[in-house]
Structure 1
């Protein structure tokens, strides 16, 4: 698709998003957003400040992806980047191309590498290049995520200790391989994984560290197959020292999962460390190949639990302390911090959003009262109430009610005894959780968001005509909420 076509799609997505969230809110967060680049599967949008990037990623990324996929179903990911970083990376890319041209020029004094060696060098790079630019294979690693600024408490101290051990390669490190972290969204999995990567690279700059999200791994692998570089890509992966995979629940595709299983086996057999994170334990990742689940269950699985009040309060104090380094005039009272820590309790990510919202408001509204805080953060506290229900809880209750095994409900079976419970579970997931249609589809065996939308509309039509179904749905809601 041409850049002009992608620009038109971007404009349509912006109009749809503006209609959904309101013109004023849209202008506040997306007024300066620009389409930087696009491919068949990844869209990159830039904003001028890190604050805008953080806020959009926390609150609107799923909506943007869903709207974009309605216009262009092949899109798998929307990246939001800071404009200055885009320019810096573009400059590096130009310099890199010029250097490569000098290296491979016919009249150059340096020898020209054979094609296969050139391809591999382009993928792997030298150890010095990886240390300077981060690994070219992996997703970007944020240097701000470290063990030192990771908020530690009763809900995650065991996970933090295991992460440090994996980096230090102490006496128990072999027992923590693979090391598997799981939790609900926004509790610090990504921070912990990137802290591992940063600590490992700081300890040994020549160590080959790769941090990947499952979606990025799928995209890179698919791109390598398309470009006839699959063997080179797999060779490059097999040579790394530390593999970190985030959002494992999104890994889809029989071929890709098979290759991923071979990769894990190769690394573990070579005593290389593997660290994985997902939103649930390995035993509940039904969409994964049994061989992958078995390998993941062979290590140590640790849960990051919901932070308690003391942790939430400490996080807000730390964020205020950091913010005052940039703006000494910031003044959020201790009473407000304590109130927010008590009110927003589900995740660090929501707490971060609440803090950013207060900072934003204070720029034109001084001395915010506690009542005003409740008004400002109303959308977060209302979301807190909805987030008590998980999609897994809905699946379990519906499966028990209809006497259908949960794994069959997530399978591709199309018999009526399976399809009806599946559609009802999708419908309840949409109305009882804040999850987007693409996210619900992933939780139901990797289905497309249009399948979920069809199920929701189908159940809505059936309950209008069938009073017994309406009563059954109400019963299921009560069972789920108990």
Structure 2
């Protein structure tokens, strides 16, 4: 009887636990709704869409985010606001702890707001070091290289790869201009004003822009100048860490005291205040006669996530593209990689016929060419036979099949459509409303939406500054027309194939 009573008591207690959980979920929903209402949909989606309430233990609400950068940003800008809302809406909560999912959970204790905002640097940010305080001419190459990856009040420089120098950079038609510009920037005489400032290099993945940037950094370090090489995410993290440690002024002063700033993958730069500081830093360096080198995966005008002032500043220097590797350059890359592999595997030989076959079949980027060499080396070492064209076809087929489609630009679409319909590109961009111009213009807008990742407003800007509703109307009209008109459908499909080949 006692056991039965115990089971019944447990059964009755369970709904109470469930009610507490439901109440917490409802409270957390109220917190999220208030955050969205106070900050707006864009800010909420960017910074709080992946903020979760994990549990409440001993009056401490455990909140989690997926990345370290997101944690740092919320702590630096919104921690007090989140704490106020959570303690207001969640009964019994006196404090919050914010941690990265998958990382070690912070201790469950009630902490003062100052302790939460100013955690020791060893726990949440790299320890400050001496960037600007370093001597202008370090005594050794090792010291100069260390300078390029030093901290500056939370700014952790990205490491340089000692192999990525000008001597190992292979030049072809597709990258000759970018290479020449990089060498000119890196080898400018002491005291001379920068020729191209900023130097902006853009290319798709695996075409060598990071190699070129690091080669510039190595060359300038070798001349005894102060250099820092950063990826965009490292710049963002350094800025947030400096805000958190209340060393933002020192961060700015030391960053602007260098001779060369190199920023890679600038397309990932996010956050209004970070972009503003980035723009101020570039302006300060350029005004002081210091060199800035930037790289991204597309031209400045296509970096829609960046503020207009940042895009304008980046476009104000020399903008060069590193295009797809031509076949001669691909052969040169393969020969170089095979020679490097032969140092450790003397029996590794690849015939010119096999090299030529790989160069013809893999046209995407240098990383796929590296993968092809690794597969040929594995075939040789495992089978004991030199690769033939037939065996190579099997070895690299996954690389061939995984080739990315050609990147189509709006300008290319406009030119091809204009040629196809015997009008000029200027006609398509003009305000003319004649039927002979309106139809090609609408087809070009439709293809721009189909074949690029550009938004409707961006497409409208590329078509003479038109409104996004005009683009939407054109897209819908051509969508309906191709269903009803087989001739137009064939024309559109032909244009698509020509643009994607």
**What TM-score do you get using the length of structure 2 for normalisation?**
0.56
Q: Which residue in the other structure is 2:480 paired with?
A: none
Output the aligned Cα RMSD: 4.2
Deviation at 1:380, TM superposition (A): 1.3
The yes-or-no answer on 1:40 pairing with 2:82 is: no
The yes-or-no answer on 1:401 pairing with 2:429 is: no
Q: Which residue in the other structure is 2:348 paired with?
A: 330
Deviation at 1:327, TM superposition (A): 2.3
Change (3 A) 1:131 1:253: same
Aligned equivalent of 2:149, options 132, 135, 151: 135
Contact 2:445 2:471 (8 Å CA) reproduced:
no
Deviations 1:147-176 (A, max 9, x none): 111111222222111111101115996331
Cα distance in structure 2, aligned partners of 1:416 and 1:176:
35
The yes-or-no answer on 1:199 pairing with 2:191 is: no
Change (3 A) 1:146 1:123: closer
Q: Which residue in the other structure is 1:158 paired with?
A: 177
Q: In structure 2, the residue corresponding to 1:331 is in which secondary structure?
A: coil
Deviations 1:96-155 (A, max 9, x none): xxxxxxxxxxxxxxxxxxxxxxx8645656344554464224211101001111111222
Deviation at 1:296, TM superposition (A): 1.3
Q: Which runs of 5+ in 2 are unaligned?
A: 1-65, 71-97, 102-126, 151-155, 415-441, 460-466, 477-482
**Number of residue pairs the alignment of both structures matches:** 330
Deviation at 1:308, TM superposition (A): 1.7
Aligned equivalent of 1:339, options 357, 363, 366: 357
Q: Which residue in the other structure is 2:198 paired with?
A: 178
User: Of the two structures, which has the highest relative contact order with CA contacts closer than 8 Å and spacing of 6 or more?
Assistant: 1
Cα distance in structure 2, aligned partners of 1:327 and 1:287:
47
Cα distance in structure 2, aligned partners of 1:416 and 1:344:
38
The yes-or-no answer on 1:126 pairing with 2:140 is: no
Deviations 1:245-273 (A, max 9, x none): 11122212111111000000000001000
Change (3 A) 1:154 1:290: same
Which structure: larger Rg? 2
Aligned equivalent of 1:305, options 296, 312, 323: 323
Q: In structure 1, the residue corresponding to 2:320 is in which secondary structure?
A: strand
Cα distance in structure 1, aligned partners of 2:357 and 2:145:
43
**Counterparts of residues 240-259 of structure 1 (less than 5 Å):** 240-259=258-277
Q: Which residue in the other structure is 1:374 paired with?
A: 393
Q: Which residue in the other structure is 2:305 paired with?
A: 287
Q: Which runs of 5+ in 1 are unaligned?
A: 1-37, 43-71, 76-118, 425-466
Q: Which residue in the other structure is 2:253 paired with?
A: 235
Q: Which residue in the other structure is 1:109 paired with?
A: none
Change (3 A) 1:173 1:300: farther
Cα distance in structure 1, aligned partners of 2:490 and 2:100:
36
Q: Which moved more, 1:310-319 or 1:220-229?
A: 220-229
Contact 2:331 2:356 (8 Å CA) reproduced:
yes
